[in-house]
Amino acid sequence: MTLRVIRSSAGFDPTTLWPGKDLVLDLDPEHALVLPEGVAVDDHLEQSARIAIDDAARQNLAFWRRTRGADICVDGTDLGHIAEVELIARCFLPAERLRRALVAIGAAGQIEAYGFDAAALHALRDLAPSSCIVSGAPAAPLAPPTRAGRRTALVNLIERTAIRPWVRGEILCVPYWHLTGVYSRLAHRRPGPRLVPVGVGLAGLDAATVASVLARGGWGGNVGAAARTRSRARVATQLGALSDAGGLDRWARDVLLRVGGGGPAEVAHARRMLDGRARLIVVPFDSPEQQRPLLAAAREQGVPSLVVQHGYDAELGDPDKTLAGHVAVWSPRDRTVLETLADGRIAVTGNPGADELQITDPVARGRRRTVVLVEYPGRLSSRVDQRIGLRHVAVALDGLARSRPGTVAVIRPHPADGSAVSYPRALAGIGGTLQLAFDSRTPIESLLGTADLCVGALSTATLQSAASGLATVFLDVSGTHRPWPFDGSPGAIPVVRSAAELADVVRDVLSVASPPGAAAAREALGATGTGTDAVIALIGSLLAP
């Protein structure tokens, strides 16, 4: 019998796919509850195999980068470094998952590949067991992941326009929610170092403050679409002239072009930004390809860099906070996690974004409204399977229906979850007498303020909930180890693993004056109340002669 290997279940009726006949690499999140067990690649991977897959994917990427060496450097830019995260997520990790699943099911004979683009299809012929014959027509490349947040037509227009850097200030700063207080304080400090925004706008600052920042410090400008197009053409010429090395080489080069093709133009622009007064760059993360050109140019020119932790580290393979010369983390736990990974000097500053943490008003108890945070598998690890999102919600709704029938359950997807629009359809008929609502837009602090209970996922938002004093339970249906304070240890956030456990614990946490886990959550969140002061002091020390 021919085995059909399918790149994505999107567009399929999942009830028509059968174990032993079909094998799906990427599960459409909407299909998590209805796709038959044994059809998804993850269904065949034990937890020990998943850990080995993560390790192998990174080792294979490192070997490929060493082998290719100067072949993937263009205009002095190491494209393998710029696109490291996407090379893992789009090539080396899915390839290793698929390879091991084919071995696990004992694949032999004819394989019909469906939905793989030309580069991935070529690689599949090497990934399949030697007893397999792979056939299939190449499909269009997969669309890139949806970018988080709403983007206006004006922002899109500005990002396509070439604008030269105009740098007067000393600190190149990339905006993000947790740095708003830091940037606001520095913007109003007279005398003091001047900020130079990188990107479009300074999120969270009022118009007058932004105008003042631009007038005093200037702006980092923008590469523009034309320069990126020329850059991609140069990269395409160089990569296209390389002979095929077999294995994942063609697939990796295809991802490199799509993700890192604009890298040389971005690095050249970053060099212009730094060739002047800049004495420090401050970024909220250092793993995505959008940040790495700036960090690469800073390292070339000897300009110090500081990354300020932006979210809870779920320990699922993201190389964030490992490149910058200096790292500000939220808690001692984060320092311990990074000690053997980070290149930079690590300082525990607390979380500047949690300085204004709102404590739940006891009057809010009795609202009978629950926020259900949706678990997210992540793109850089196979440890959490792709069914987890809707599976997590279904168990949560079952437990709430048992313990709080007739109440409101607000489903809040992870910010990186691009499938949120399908949740109402996928959850139709689930939840019994619960009143379901879906909210992806309300700021999480405001949303939590409307509830008397949170059923959490492994996320910063769960820490915010518990730290504020809101009754919070972490629902863990992953089947893998979760880090503190999501591990069920004494004093940590309460953990449940089934609907029955959730129903029992919900009654307990709602009946006590001080819900458990708040102190641990505040520590993990870095809610010291002095994070802004500590980060500003660290910035001052890095600017000192």
In whole angstroms, give the CA distance from residue 474 to residue 46: 23
State how far the Cα of 322 lies from the Cα of 225, in Å rounded to an integer. 29
Q: What angle do CA 118, 124, 125 make, to 5 degrees?
A: 100
Helices 118-127 and 93-104, axial angle in degrees (round to 10): 40
Alpha-carbon distance values, 464 to 163, 292, 353 (Å): 39, 29, 11
294 and 189 co-located in one domain? yes
* Residue 384 lies in domain: 362-525
List, for residues 102-142, the tens digit of each pLDDT value. 999 999 999 999 999 999 999 999 999 999 999 999 998 87
Residue whose token pair is 């683009």: 117
Both 318 and 371 in one domain: the answer is no
For residue 239, tell me if it sits in a domain: no
- For the whole prediction, is pTM greater than 0.85? yes
Residue 340, both tokens: 């053997």
Burial of residue 405, with CB atoms counted within 10 A of its CB: 0-12 exposed, 13-18 middle, 19 or more buried:
exposed
**Three-class SS state of 73:** strand
How many C-beta neighbours within 10 Å does residue 175 have?
Answer: 21
Tokens of 268: 């050249």
Q: How confident is the model at residue 414 (pLDDT cuts 50, 70, 90)?
A: confident
> What would you measure as the largest C-alpha separation in the chain, in angstroms?
76
340 shares a domain with 204:
yes
Nearest CA among 132, 239, 219 for reference residue 169: 219
| CA-wise closest residue to 385 among 42, 23, 7 | 42
- Nearest Cα residue to 34 out of 47, 50, 15, 17: 15
Neighbouring residues of 64: CB distance < 8 A, sequence distance ≥ 6: 80, 92, 248, 249, 252
- The pLDDT of residue 338: 96
Query: CB-side exposure of 241: number of CA atoms within 13 Å?
Result: 8
Tell me the pLDDT of the chain averaged across its residues: 93
Q: What is the pLDDT, as a whole number, of residue 151?
A: 58
Q: Is 430 exposed, middle or buried (CB count within 10 Å of its CB: 0-12, 13-18, 19+)? A: middle
Tokens of 396: 């949560």
| Residue 192, burial from CB neighbour count under 10 angstroms (0-12, 13-18, 19+) | middle
Instruction: Report cis status (omega within 30 of 0) of the bond before 352.
Output: no
For residue 326, the SS3 value is strand
Same domain membership, residue 205 and residue 87: no
| For range 210-238, the mean pLDDT | 94
Output the CA angle 68-69-70, nearest 5 degrees: 110
Sole residue written with tokens 């850990």: 51
Residues 170, 124 within the same domain: no
Total domains, the chain = 3
Structure tokens that stand for 121 in this block: 């299809």
The answer as to whether 276 is a domain residue is: yes
CATH of the domain at 431: 3.40.50.2000
In this structure, are 200 and 281 located in the same domain?
yes
- Give dist(CA 67, CA 72) in Å, integer: 10
Residues 44 and 102 in one domain: yes
Task: Give the DSSP H or E segment for 370.
Answer: strand 369-373
| Nearest of 290, 329, 292 to residue 308 by alpha carbon | 329
Residue 368 has pLDDT above 70, yes or no: yes
Strand partners, 325: none
- Say yes or no: 461 and 440 in one domain: yes
Residue 5 to residues 2, 148, 288, 301, 324, Cα–Cα distance (Å):
10, 30, 30, 48, 40
pLDDT in tens, 172-202: 999 999 999 999 999 998 888 999 999 876 7
Look-up of token digits 């949690």: 354
Q: What are phi and psi of 308, to 5 degrees?
A: -110, 115
> Has residue 333 been placed in a domain?
yes
Angle at 82 between CA 389 and CA 198, to 5 degrees: 90
Model confidence at 417, pLDDT cuts 50, 70, 90, reads confident
Judge whether 525 and 330 are in contact, CB under 8 Å.
yes
Under 8 Å between Cβ of 382 and 93: yes
DSSP 427: T
Q: What separation in angstroms does the CA of 220 have from each of 115, 169, 176, 206, 227? A: 40, 10, 16, 19, 16
With beta carbons less than 8 A apart as the criterion, state whether 426 and 390 touch.
yes
- 189 shares its domain with 282: yes
Residue 45 lies in a domain: yes
Residue 375 lies inside a defined structural domain of this protein: yes
Domain presence at residue 481: yes
pLDDT category, 66, cuts 50, 70, 90?
Answer: very high
What is the b/e burial string over 44-54, where b = at least 16 CB atoms within 10 angstroms of the residue's CB? bbeeebbeebb
More confident: 491 or 422: 491
If asked whether residues 492 and 382 sit together in one domain, one would say yes
> Is 419 in the same domain as 498?
yes
Instruction: Answer yes or no: is pLDDT of 150 > 70.
Output: no
Per-residue pLDDT reduced to its tens digit, 458-510: 999 999 999 999 999 999 999 899 999 999 999 999 999 999 999 999 999 99
Q: Supply the pLDDT for residue 101.
A: 97
Determine, yes or no, domain membership for 257: no
Q: Of the residues 119, 135, 151, which one is the last residue of a structural domain?
A: 135
Q: Would residue 63 count as lying in a domain?
A: yes
Residues 80 and 214 in one domain: no
| Main-chain dihedrals φ then ψ at residue 332, nearest 5 degrees | -60, -35
Burial class (CB in 10 A: 0-12, 13-18, 19+), 218: buried
CA distance 517 to 484: 11
